[in-house]
């Protein structure tokens, strides 16, 4: 069942109740924002549970089993526990920076969803610079991480913050260039246009078919962007204990934690939209296709995490600048040639 007609029906209902168009727009926009926000919160809770289950099964364990069916309520319980925890601010911390860091990370993680098409017609706002907006807003997360590293006044946190800054500078470049190939073919930065360009041909117009290299580059860079193993250097547990979030406790820690999972969903959603045909698919409603593809991507990222060792900080830089970046340029040249030939 498609969801877009339902929203349209609610909008018509508001109009028929006598609201002016401007007011109805406002109400429906706010309603949509609240809907997306709560959907993501539930998804993040689900993803935490899912990661624990996946890691457990990869490691031949059961994972959480006690709270609810196979431990589905484990994250809810964890969140409740974290809410009750004391919120500690270290005496030597820079209080303002320390307070705002998780807020920025959390907000930026959620703000990216304004332009992501969840299904046919299910988009909060179809900006004409959609993909640029997402790249810009997800980069802001790193400012939050750096603030956390600096504001904590802890050496481990500082190293973690430094690493995250270095990491994002290196990986943002190949990430943008890998998406550039798709923008070149589509001729638009709007997310809806990118999805529409991939429809038809029974899935053979997905960008992954024409640009497999771009997809691989994007996945690698996105893993680094989401701070996942093998690129989880900012919080490398065995080296920096917990990295940038070492001094955070209670709900502030939970905000970092949730933001990490939302970020993971974001990069997977972008991969789905840009490379895997977005919500296009037969039989099932479009939002199911979107969710299914995105969750499959999330699974791949989780699979990475529980299989690979971690790179060292200089190897990470070397890989980004010496391998990924040249490959990204090769991809752009290839896409250019391909586009000319298709014309």
Between 226 and 269, whose beta carbon lies closer to other proteins?
Answer: 226
Interface residue list for other proteins (CB under 8 A): 55, 58-61, 155-156, 159, 162-163, 229-230, 232, 236-241, 306-315
CB of 46 to other proteins, least distance (A): 22
* Virtual torsion, Cα 148, 151, 154, 155, nearest 10 deg: 80
Q: C-alpha distances in angstroms, 320 versus 6, 169, 170, 254?
A: 45, 10, 6, 30
CB of 231 to other proteins, least distance (A): 10
Nearest C-alpha neighbor of 191 from the set 120, 284, 263, 281: 120
C-beta separation of 247 from 87 below 8 A: no
CB of 319 to other proteins, least distance (A): 9
Between 45 and 162, whose beta carbon lies closer to other proteins?
Answer: 162
Between 240 and 291, whose beta carbon lies closer to other proteins?
Answer: 240
CB of 60 to other proteins, least distance (A): 6
CB of 159 to other proteins, least distance (A): 7
CB of 235 to other proteins, least distance (A): 11
* Virtual torsion, Cα 113, 116, 121, 127, nearest 10 deg: 90
Between 159 and 301, whose beta carbon lies closer to other proteins?
Answer: 159
Between 99 and 306, whose beta carbon lies closer to other proteins?
Answer: 306
Q: C-alpha distances in angstroms, 261 versus 3, 29, 156, 230?
A: 25, 25, 22, 16
C-beta separation of 75 from 51 below 8 A: no
- Helix residue ranges per DSSP H, the chain: 4-16, 21-58, 74-84, 95-111, 130-151, 155-186, 191-197, 207-210, 212-225, 237-240, 250-274, 286-305, 313-318, 325-342
Between 87 and 237, whose beta carbon lies closer to other proteins?
Answer: 237
């Amino acid at each position: 069942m498609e969801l877009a007609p339902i929203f349209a029906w609610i909008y018509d209902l508001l109009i028929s109740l006598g609201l002016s168009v401007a007011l109805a727009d406002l109400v429906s926009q706010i309603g949509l924002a609240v809907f997306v926000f709560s959907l993501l919160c539930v998804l993040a809770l689900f993803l935490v549970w899912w990661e624990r289950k996946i890691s457990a099964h990869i490691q031949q364990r059961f994972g959480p089993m006690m709270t609810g069916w196979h431990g589905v309520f484990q994250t809810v319980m964890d969140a409740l526990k974290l809410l009750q925890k004391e919120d500690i601010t270290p005496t030597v911390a820079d209080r303002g920076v320390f307070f705002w860091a998780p807020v920025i990370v959390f907000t930026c993680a959620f703000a990216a969803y304004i332009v992501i098409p969840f299904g046919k017609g299910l988009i909060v706002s179809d900006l004409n610079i959609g993909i640029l907006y997402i790249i810009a807003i997800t980069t802001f997360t790193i400012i939050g991480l750096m603030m956390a590293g600096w504001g904590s006044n802890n050496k481990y946190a500082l190293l973690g913050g430094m690493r995250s800054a270095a990491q994002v500078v290196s990986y943002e470049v190949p990430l943008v260039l890998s998406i550039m190939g798709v923008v070149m073919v589509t001729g638009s930065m709007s997310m809806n246009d990118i999805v529409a360009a991939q429809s038809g041909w029974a899935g053979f117009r997905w960008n992954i078919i024409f640009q497999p290299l771009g997809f691989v580059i994007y996945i690698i860079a996105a893993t680094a962007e989401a701070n996942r193993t093998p690129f989880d250097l900012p919080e490398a547990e065995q080296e920096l204990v917990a990295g940038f979030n070492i001094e955070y406790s209670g709900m502030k820690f939970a905000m970092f934690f949730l933001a990490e999972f939302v970020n993971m969903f974001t990069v997977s959603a972008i991969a789905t939209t840009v490379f895997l045909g977005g919500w296009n698919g037969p039989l099932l409603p479009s939002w199911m296709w979107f969710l299914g593809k995105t969750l499959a991507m999330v699974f791949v990222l989780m699979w990475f995490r529980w299989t690979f060792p971690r790179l060292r900080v200089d190897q990470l830089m070397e890989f980004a600048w010496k391998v990924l970046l040249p490959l990204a340029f090769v991809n752009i040249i290839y896409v250019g040639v391909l586009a000319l030939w298709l014309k």
